[in-house]
A and B are shown apart, each in its own frame.
Chain A
Amino acid sequence: MIGALTLIFCFQLLGETISHLFGLPIPGPVIGMLLLFAWLSLRGQLSEGLERASSGLLDNLTLLFVPAGVGLILYIDQLREHWLGIAIVLILSTAITIVGTALTLQFLQRLPVLLSHKRREEAHE
């Protein structure tokens, strides 16, 4: 468990180092995640400790966002002043993005099936 946590922290540190060294806009933890994913894929196996450490961190991941979420308290006045415009943009564009992405992916996923159906129909004619 401690070994697994050490590994996770090392990958974060590695990610932070790469991000700073090359002045990348991508934050260290995201780079660390991609590197750990690459490393696990190369190694081809997952230790039990790593499984436990990750579920410890991820099972209640939403809890970790609470302190940042409470930070909206600092902007309550600005938000109140422009609330209608902000609400319209936030709600509508978030809804459009979720639905648009989901339907696009669903369509792409079914595309090969649809195409092979069409080909079969054409062959029948």
Chain B
Amino acid sequence: MNNLIDLWGYLRETPLFWLTLTLLTYQASAWVIKRLPDWPVLNPFLATTMILVAVLLITDTPYETYIAQAGMLQFLLGPATVALAIPMYRNVTKLKQMLVPLLVCLPIGSLIAISSVYALGHLTKLSQAMQLSLLPKSVTTPIAMGIAEQINGLPALAAVFVLLTGMVGTLIAAPLLDFFRVHDLRVRGFAVGLSLHGIGTARMLQISQEAGAFSGLAMALNGSLSAVLIPLIVYFLG
């Protein structure tokens, strides 16, 4: 028994353990979900995150230990974001065909994202800090944290809201878009990328390269525009 505890103590401190567990959980969730009846709600990202949160809580492992090891995966997000240029380039003709509608839709979508949080935040009487940290929730994490800092929200909490938005969004996007009869993959991709940043884009890439390209573009454009829009709106509306 003592040996087992020693082994656990050793394993959870080696750089390999949590990284491998993350990969294994992801593979296993993907394998299980593939074999379930078609249910668009479940995805490996959501399942893996929830399982790992549960494992950390049960084993009483601090997040610092986990991220020190699994952080290697997070580092790859940078180059992966750069690599989004490739599906975008491959679909450049389709993007060009729709350039005018896309550029008109962008500020409208950004404003919908911001004003809906603003209105609902007031209605639910959340604290000022909560409301401000929720504002950039459709923006990719690094931009969102910068915005939160600028408007006196809490950057770390903003990052959590960005993630939760991605999780909730990947749950509801497909059924919602089906319900409103939006079937064009380009439109679906753009709407998901604008609303659900990188997590939505990652999900779209699993469905089609074309949807992923439109999603990646929407993420980049909405992130850049929101970095200007949100501080301005907060400044004028107080």
Contacts and interface: CB of A to CB of B under 8 A. Distances in A.
Interface of A: 5, 8-9, 11-12, 15, 25-30, 32-34, 36-37, 40-41, 46, 50-51, 53-54, 57-75, 78-79, 82, 84-86, 88-106, 108-109, 111
Given A71-B67, A79-B160, A66 B195 contact: no
A11 B89 CA distance: 15
Nearest to A65: B199
Q: A interface, by DSSP: helix, strand, loop or mixed?
A: helix
B126 A82 contact: yes
B231 to A, nearest CB: 9
B130 A86 contact: yes
Contacts, number: 292
A94 B169 contact: yes
Contacts of A27: 140, 142-143, 146, 223
Nearest to B162: A68
Contacts of B232: none
Q: B interface, by DSSP: helix, strand, loop or mixed?
A: helix
A29 B77 CA distance: 9
Contacts of B161: 86, 90
Contact of A40 (B89, B121, B123): B89
Given A61-B198, A101-B190, A90 B137 contact: yes
B56 interface: yes
Given A62-B45, A75-B156, A100-B108, 18 more contacts: A12-B81, A30-B142, A33-B216, A36-B82, A50-B86, A54-B86, A58-B86, A58-B87, A59-B205, A62-B43, A64-B73, A75-B157, A90-B161, A90-B168, A91-B168, A98-B192, A102-B190, A105-B101
A96 B138 CA distance: 12
B203 A62 contact: yes
B42 interface: no
Given A59-B205, A70-B63, A109-B98, A91 B172 contact: yes
A97 B4 CA distance: 50
22 contacts: A15-B82, A27-B142, A27-B143, A27-B223, A29-B81, A32-B81, A32-B82, A34-B85, A58-B205, A60-B26, A62-B43, A62-B44, A64-B77, A69-B163, A70-B63, A75-B160, A86-B126, A88-B123, A93-B137, A94-B165, A101-B190, A105-B101
Contacts of A69: 45, 49, 163, 166-167
B143 A25 contact: yes
B70 A66 contact: yes
B6 interface: no
B85 A36 contact: yes
B119 to A, nearest CB: 8
A85 B128 CA distance: 12
Contacts of B132: none
Contacts of B73: 63-64, 66-67
A89 B49 contact: no
Nearest to A7: B82
Contact of A94 (B92, B157, B168, B220): B168
Nearest to A39: B85
B196 A94 contact: yes
Given A46-B89, A91-B172, A108-B105, A98 B82 contact: no
Contacts of B89: 37, 40-41, 46
A70 B143 contact: no
